[in-house]
Chain A
Amino acid sequence: MHPLVMSEVIKVPTMAEYMGLGKVPEVLFWVGCAGSFDDRAKKITKAFVRILNKAGVDFAVLGTEESCTGDPAKRAGNEFLFQMQAVTNIEVLNGYEIKKIVTTCPHCFNTLKNEYPSLGGKYEVIHHTQLLRSLLDEGRLTIEGGKFKGKRITFHDPCYLGRANNVYEAPRELIRKLDAELVEMKSCRSRGLCCGAGGAQMFKEPEKGDMDVNVKRTEQALETAPEIIAAGCPFCNTMMTDGVKAKEKENSIAVMDVAELIAAAEDL
């Protein structure tokens, strides 16, 4: 979009800049490795930042001071590497006296929320769908349903958001707010089927089997005849996008993060 037609100015302040100004943000946006480097996931990052700007949320990012939370290392069994990462990150976070963190990645969310406290990192950690929902509740953000009205959208529960942390409703409420028709897969919520990426599987070839997990999950999604498969995790997003391609449906079915849905609804 041309800067001149933008009504608002989009800024991504870093914690270092805030510190220089003697300011403390309302919330730290933990971007995560996928959100920082992966081309597809970067779109989610940007969509979320546009919403934060629009809602006037005072946030900052760590930028180059952010490191991998250590999640894939821990799930692979490398507790040393995980704790090294955790302790490094905690030092940075505590140095900035961070109180509240929002993240677009359920893996970062789970690790920061559950596994950092006993290593000295105690923060209030929320997933971006939770933040968006509270912005709506507080009236800081409004959603016009127009664009997605009546569209069939199915939500894929990320394991590390759903089963791992019992967050099932926030993303669904947001989708309903779009006046979309939320359709559920046969395994959903606490019985949702994994996309196949967790436990460091994202970084390796699967073991020998009959099919790939993401294809299986995509088949379940396709059974609901959706126009959009909504996700809340950059890794799920990749897996489902690949699954849709494997089923040659990429021209009729989009895979989008909940933040992208909302940004699109608001023409952000």
Chain B
Amino acid sequence: MGFISQILFAVVLIAGIGYFVRNINKLRRNIKLGKPVDRSDNKAERWRNMALIALGQKKMVVRPIPGLLHIIVYVGFIIINIEVLEIVIDGLFGTHRVLSFLGGFYDFLIGSFEILALLVIVSVTIFWIRRNVIRLKRFWNPEMKGWPKNDANYILYFEAVLMLLFLTMNAADHQLQQAGAAHYAQAGAFPVSGMISSVFGGLDVASLIAVERMAWWFHIIGILIFLNYLYFSKHLHILLAFPNTWYAKLTPKGQFDNLEAVTKEVMLMMDPDADPFAAPEETEGEEEPGKFGASDIFDLNRVQLLNAYTCTECGRCTSECPANQTGKKLSPRKIMMDTRDRIEEVGKNIDANGGKFADDGKQLLDGYISREELWACTTCNACVEACPVSIDPLSIILEMRRYLVMEESAAPNELNVMMGNIENNAAPWPFNQMDRLNWKEEIETT
């Protein structure tokens, strides 16, 4: 019997990890649909950002209540997973509480896991109430209908159930230890499950073992399911927050990149030695000149696509967005969710077409993100500042505006007027450049 369950365990473990690896590979492939971007500079600062923002949750404490609760769930979840190490060893080798040789330290570990588990259950419950009973505004924006809303709740249920299974397992184990059952040596401290273990008080040893084994199996299977659920969920951020904060932009938030392709053309135009009538240089063998800006995910860079997969859908960006606060359609969270949805659509298309993308007549622009949303942005960077995992929704908005203006000449008319003025008078208004210094006469004295 023991042997069979060890084999069964190995099979479950390999299947769980195998499927996870498959998902990660798909994720990598999809992110690589974006353009390469060099973010290899300032490594020290990047590591520091990762340590502070992803590991240290620096941005979460800006809002203290959810910040504290999130840290509890995060720390609890990570630390309790040390327990998984023991479960895996026990499962594969048929041992029981293999780490108990650590003695007093083991008692300390199990004891603190239990307290953390209880805190996680409490926090998750408060999260659930904030979402579903208090109905905080940022969880009820239009883009949170359907799957995103359910996804968020499923995760809360999942976490609570996993913690309950852990405590149930310990409670049964505690009873078994007290009953002196074979195989269940005295080990661990049970400050929380010890209090509930009396519910199993009337059970005989066989039933207790059944409860303990069942909780043990469901716990580890639950963790493997959770691991594989990540790819389909906003919960992917527990992994991607790390690379995402590492690759985040380091330059001042107000600094937008200067498109190099444009620089080349501008320099050519401004060069007095260039012959304006010269035939364009032969560019044989080179790829066709890239388009300016982005209308689909292929035009975005890899960090922007990583951003989309990392988004936790928390809505901190949207709740700080001046356009959204005043009832405009724009929501920076939706920009990220749309981008991810479109990447997934393209990914499935590639899977279905033997590894090559078959044009589906759709794109991110118009298909997901409307022009009205893009033009409502004030480029204020409030969304970028608010994001707890260093996502930059503004960079996607700007890239799509670039496409609209430079590829489609589709700016709102008033903006075309403004740009016409800059071209003709070097000011966004129709004033004569020669009048620029008129104010001088109004102030100078002798």
Contact = CB atoms under 8 A, between A and B. Distances in A.
Contacts, number: 232
B322 interface: yes
B443 A194 contact: no
Contacts of A70: 422
Most chain B CB within a 10 A radius of its CB, from A166, A197, A208, A209: A209
A63 B426 CA distance: 12
A190 interface: yes
Given A42-B442, A61-B437, A198-B380, A72 B428 contact: yes
B406 A77 contact: yes
B253 A9 contact: no
B31 to A, nearest CB: 25
Interface SS of chain B: helix, strand, loop or mixed?
helix
A203 B266 CA distance: 25
Contacts of A216: 322, 325-326
Contacts of A209: 323, 326-328, 376
A77 B398 contact: yes
Interface in A44-80: 45-46, 49-50, 61, 63-64, 66-68, 70, 72-80
Contacts of A163: 253-254, 380-382, 384-385
Interface residues of A, number: 78
B412 A36 contact: no
Interface in B58-104: 62
A265 B269 CA distance: 49
B429 A37 contact: yes
A200 B443 CA distance: 30
Nearest to A213: B322
A102 to B, nearest CB: 17
Interface string A155-181: 000011001111000000000000000
A55 to B, nearest CB: 16
B422 A85 contact: yes
B446 A73 contact: no
B334 interface: no
A68 B380 contact: no
A81 to B, nearest CB: 6
B77 to A, nearest CB: 29
Given A72-B428, A81-B423, A85-B422, A197 B411 contact: no
Contact of B254 (A10, A46, A110, A187): A110
B415 A37 contact: no
B437 A36 contact: yes
A217 B403 CA distance: 31
Contacts of A110: 252, 254-255
Given A64-B433, A80-B406, A45 B439 contact: yes
Contacts of B251: 114
B369 to A, nearest CB: 13
B405 A77 contact: yes
Given A75-B398, A115-B256, A199-B378, A80 B266 contact: yes
B428 A36 contact: no
A257 B307 CA distance: 38
A196 interface: yes
A77 B411 contact: yes
Nearest to B255: A114
Nearest to A38: B429
B378 to A, nearest CB: 4
Size range of the chain B interface in the assembly: 35 or more
A83 B328 contact: no
A66 B422 CA distance: 12
Contacts of A87: 266-267, 270
A2 to B, nearest CB: 9
Contact of B255 (A86, A115, A187, A203): A115
Most buried by B among A36, A113, A193: A36
Given A190-B385, A191-B385, A199-B377, A67 B431 contact: no
B183 interface: no
B328 A66 contact: no
Nearest to B405: A77
Contact of B326 (A38, A45, A61, A210): A210
B435 interface: yes
B293 A33 contact: no
Interface string A182-214: 000001001101101111111111111111110
A245 interface: no
A194 B423 CA distance: 27
A228 B152 CA distance: 45
Interface string A119-162: 10000000000000000000000000000000000000001100
Interface of A: 3, 6, 9-12, 14, 31, 33, 36-38, 42, 45-46, 49-50, 61, 63-64, 66-68, 70, 72-81, 83-88, 91, 110, 113-115, 118-119, 159-160, 163-166, 187, 190-191, 193-194, 196-213, 216-217
Interface of B: 62, 251-256, 258-259, 262-263, 265-267, 269-270, 292-293, 320, 322-323, 325-330, 372, 375-382, 384-386, 398, 400-406, 411-412, 414-415, 417-419, 422-423, 426-429, 431, 433-440, 442-446
Which 3 pairs show the lowest CB-CB distances between chains A and B?
A: A164-B254, A77-B401, A210-B327
14 contacts: A12-B444, A14-B437, A42-B439, A61-B437, A63-B440, A64-B437, A75-B379, A77-B398, A83-B262, A159-B381, A163-B385, A199-B378, A202-B428, A213-B325
